[in-house]
Amino acid sequence: MALSPPSHTNRAITLAVMSHEAFHQYCHFLFDEAEAHRWFDEGQGDYYGAHDFSGRKPKVTKHMPEGLDRLSGVKAMLREGSLITIDSLIHMDHEAWYANNSSYHGVASYCQSWALMYFLRQGMVGKVSRKYWKKEYADIVPRYTTHLFAGFAEARAQNEKEFEKKLEAGGGENNFDSDTIKRLRSAIHRVGEETKNKIWNKAMGESWGKIDMEDFENNWLAFIKRDL
C-alpha cells in the first residue's frame, strides 16, 4: 500500500521535536558533558524548537506547532495565577522541575522555561523593549554558561589527577587489566552530586546572583502580558 506524503503539520512537528532534542545534544557536548539546570536546557530546547524552517534561514517564532506550543500555555498559566516565581523555577533541581509539570497539563515547567529563555534570548539581540529590559540581563546566560563549563572542567581535571595517582600507586598502567583501566577512565567524567551542586551554586551566583530578582520578575511578567 502506498504511503501518503507527510503533511505540512507533521513535518513542522518533526522539525520542532528534532530541534529541541538537537539542542540537548549540542549543550551536552558544548559544555563537555556538563549538566545544566532544566530552565536552561529545556527552556532553550523549546526556544529552538519554535524556529521556523520553511525559508532559507531558520527564524525565531513564538510558537511550536500543534500541541507543542508553549505561548498559549504560559498565557493561560498567567491568567490562572499558576506561574511560580522565576527565582523558584531557576533553582529547581531536575526532580522538582519535572514534578512541577503536573500543575498545567504536564508542561508547566516547559512553558515557563520557554517564556524565560525567549525573554532572555530576544533581549540579548535587542528585540525586547527597554520598558522591560535592563542591560545586566544580557549577562545572565553568558555568565551562567561560563561558570558552569569552568566548574565541570575543573572537577574533571581533579578526577584526572586522581586517576593518575591510582595508576602511579599501582605501579603504572601496565599493572592494571584493561577492564580496570576502562572503569577508572570512565570515572574521570563522573561528577558527584555534592560537587555538581557546588558548581551549580557558583554558576547561579555569578549570573542570577547579580540580578534584582523582584525587579526582573516584574519586568518579565509585564513583557508576557503586553508584548509576548
- What is the model's pLDDT at position 53? 75
Asked if the model's pLDDT at residue 20 lies above 70, the reply is: no
Tell me which H or E stretch contains 25: helix 8-30
Say how many Å lie between the first and final Cα of the chain, rounded.
Answer: 46
pTM of the entire structure? 0.83
40-94, pLDDT tens digit by residue?
999 988 888 777 777 788 888 888 767 678 999 999 999 999 999 999 999 999 9
3-class state of residue 159 by DSSP: helix
Domain boundaries, the chain: 8-226
DSSP 180: H
- 46 neighbors 110 (Cβ within 8 angstroms): yes
The span from the CA of 19 to the CA of 16, in Å, is: 5
- Round to whole Å and give the CA distance between 67 and 65: 6
User: Which residues are registered as beta bridge partners of 14?
Assistant: none
Q: Is 156 helix (H, G, I), strand (E, B) or coil?
A: helix
pLDDT of residue 5: 41
N residues, the chain: 228
Helices (H), 50-90: 71-80, 86-90
What does the alpha-carbon distance between residue 132 and residue 215 come to, in Å, rounded to a whole number?
9
Helix (H, G, I), strand (E, B) or coil at 59: strand
Q: Note the pLDDT tens digit of each residue in 136-191.
A: 999 999 999 999 999 999 998 888 888 888 888 888 878 888 888 788 777 777 88
